A and B are shown apart, each in its own frame.
Chain A
Amino acid sequence: MILWNWWYDPQCAIQTSGFNFFEDLPRFFILLFAWQRFTEEDWGIVPQGQPGRTFTCDNDVEITLGMGQSVVHRPYGIVGRGTTVLRATSACKDVPFVVKLSFPEESRIPEPEILDTIQKRAADLPDVTDHILHYTATKSTNYSTSHIRKRLGINTEGARKLTIIVFEELEGRISDLNGIEMWHVAYQVNKCGYFFPVIHMFSP
């Protein structure tokens, strides 16, 4: 009766060595007691990603996630950025919002920093600022896949950090458009890329 323990997160899976829980019952109980004391976050659940939850962002904006049919985008697997986009509302402004939760690699420049840089460097270029959606709020978290790996003394290379960003919701994707409208949108977006100091890893 050997028990192996697996931990999955957006970075990769970690497996413990096995132990016989008949021969080593106390260890097994300690493990169960530890699990019993796990909070949602300990299990890897992101509270700000649960339907109907309300949370306060770093700039004091309060956001409430929608119920039921509120998923705009969900990830395909466990490993990777795992971008999830959920519809939300806020008492501060009567427009639909979306919350983007993702696990970008820590080594990357955070998305809010990129957006801030664009706002700053392109302040007098409406061709740019009119076509870059600025975020309404961010919510900092300290969830990182490096924590458990540091504790276990294993390689933290490629660690991912939970990032939460709130945007106003847009109407749709360019792929929903046809003909001349499609061209206008493609042209505007593409042209703004000409001015701003960002190299976008572009996928049309």
Chain B
Amino acid sequence: MMYKRINGGIRGYLIDFDLAGLAGREPANLDRTGTMPFMALELLHSVVRKAPITHTYDHDAEAVCWVVLWLGVQYEDGERVTRSFREWEMVNAKTCYQEKRTVLEDLHLYAFTEANKVLQEPIRDILDKFDTLYFQKRKNRGKALDLDIGGWMDECDKEIRDQVSCTSE
């Protein structure tokens, strides 16, 4: 992910499509599904069980939320101030999966740092939704559910924007 400032705003860019696939030609593989600490729980579990599943958008959306949680709780102005999630980093997929499950049970225990407070509630909410989605998927035996993940992301972004405009007033 890269960025460029354009007319006072900031624009994000996705680069490096050399490992991408095109829809309709989905591979279901176990390798290169992401950076382990941030992988979606369902994907992580598929690595643990060595049972490949197709990598889809909801996995990526969930991964972004894990990244934001990881950054929001541990970092303050670019400095790492706590190491609450260090267990995710240095271990195998199984421990990482269990650690993240534990965190999810008690999300309220992991407070975001002052600088990142605006992200706290929206990210807790959306991680909760991903947890529920994963629960439903297991009940449906992995069958895809027709959900509006993009809508969730929009809501999350709107919540954050609202809070930013409140605090800046």
Chain A interfacial positions (CB closer than 8 Å to B): 81, 83, 102, 104, 108-109, 111, 114-115, 117-118, 130-133, 163, 167, 170-174, 177-195, 197-204
Contact = CB atoms under 8 A, between A and B. Distances in A.
A202 B2 contact: no
Residue among B11, B33, B154 with most chain A CB within 10 A: B11
Contacts, number: 157
A183 B12 contact: no
Contacts of A118: 17
Contacts of A198: 17, 20-23
Interface of B: 1-5, 10-27, 32-35, 38, 54-57, 59-61, 63-64, 66-68, 71, 77-78, 115-116, 118-119, 149-150, 153-154, 156-157, 160, 164
Nearest to B25: A109
Contact of B12 (A102, A163, A167, A186): A186
Contact of A189 (B14, B26, B33): B14
Contacts of A111: 16-18, 20
Nearest to A178: B78
Given A102-B18, A174-B1, A199-B22, 14 more contacts: A109-B25, A111-B16, A179-B115, A180-B118, A191-B154, A194-B57, A194-B61, A194-B153, A195-B150, A198-B21, A199-B20, A199-B55, A200-B19, A204-B66
